[in-house]
Structure 1
Amino acid sequence: MSTFSRSLFATAAGLALFGLSACGGTSTGGEPTTQPPAPGAALQSFDPCTFFTPEELTSFGVGTTSQDFTQVSFQPGCEWEGEKLSIGLQKNAKDTVQSLGQGGGFDKFEPTNIAGREAAEIIVGGATDQGVCNYAVSAGGGFVMYQLSGFMRDSVPDPCGELEKVVNQTASRLPQ
């Protein structure tokens, strides 16, 4: 994957913050209380690196061996490379699709709904017509970022259309 493509993904990843916290307390009667789960708690055990099946990866045109795609510590994930493109998947347990959109810095941030979940098609600033696309999909109190990057800007004629197929096929399995 080119340095330029990686930097675009790092920019997208850099728009998010990561943090998990959960705390319990004591009621006025001295009884332990249970706090509601912290935002993103359902994503804590979600592993982006094992989410796709080998059959899915092959159908997407990428290999079945994942590589670390944690460009920033607060948004861990993996990517899979093929001959023409790579697919990345990262999780963010603190922010939401909506809060991500408030950060700005996008050529395109188009809210949508996928598998009954809040989502957005995203092209980071300066990446229009560069063969890349991102989808943020609400999951487990945070979001999961799907990414597609063509190795050449024209190696995938419609990167957002191709990535949307991947997202539509798999998003229903993301944590609630």
Structure 2
Amino acid sequence: MTRRSRRLITTAACAGLLSLSGCALGDTAPGQESPAPQPKPAGLRDFDTCTFFSPDELTAAGANGPSEPVEDFTFEQGCEFEGETMLLTLYKNQDETVASYETGGHWDSYRKFDINGRAAATGVSAGSTGQGICNTLVDAGGGVVILSVTGFMKDDVPDPCGEAKKLAEQIEPRLPR
């Protein structure tokens, strides 16, 4: 089962449960006011992956601007920054977390750790071991931010997981809670 089909099934199931819970609660008693809806936190909605990095952060990471939007999936938006030997991509996903990404067999390796009280993980996508590609995921704003380091040649970035993790640790204080 693909991630997309699981997402559709989950969405349908949640919609059904919400409609059932609404029926079970019934209407507000006469003379009682409904509680005012609580504003939903912005989370990652306003987090701009294309403008997040400072020029100094990009230079230190071995990349530069301008950014190029990556819109392969509507649920995982991002921007990529090219360097001389590598590509740095920053994604956001408001619907997933470090814990939810762990399941599903999408990884050759997935190592969880903590950055200042936030769940984080370093993952090598299935089939990418030894290819100079690594991702670091960090919980942020109720979702997850993903830093992907990809060497143009498999030996261009000797430790892509170390580079992605180091950059995640540097930017973590600026990520939304």
Relative distance call for 1:63 and 1:36 in structure 2 (3 A) is same
Structure with the bigger RCO (C-alpha within 8 Å, sep 6+) is 1
- Please state if 1:99 is matched with 2:105: no
Where do 1:69-148 residues align within 5 Å?
69-148=70-149
Task: Determine helix, strand or coil for the equivalent of 1:170.
Answer: helix
Q: CA deviation at 1:153?
A: 0.2
CA distance in 2, matches of 1:123, 1:44: 26
Aligned-residue CA RMSD in angstroms?
Answer: 2.5
| Structure with bigger gyration radius | 2
Report how many aligned residue pairs link the two structures: 156
CA contact (8 A) 1:131 1:153 kept: yes
Q: CA deviation at 1:159?
A: 0.7
For structure 2, list consecutive stretches of 5 or more residues without a partner in the other structure: 12-21
For structure 1, list consecutive stretches of 5 or more residues without a partner in the other structure: 1-12, 20-24
Over the matched positions of the two proteins, sequence identity in percent amounts to 43
TM-score (norm 2): 0.80
TM-score (norm 1): 0.80
Q: What one-letter code is carried by the residue in structure 2 that aligns with 1:99?
A: S
Q: CA deviation at 1:36?
A: 6.5
Task: Determine helix, strand or coil for the equivalent of 1:169.
Answer: helix
Q: CA deviation at 1:63?
A: 1.2
CA distance in 2, matches of 1:17, 1:124: 20
Task: Determine helix, strand or coil for the equivalent of 2:66.
Answer: coil
CA contact (8 A) 2:63 2:83 kept: yes
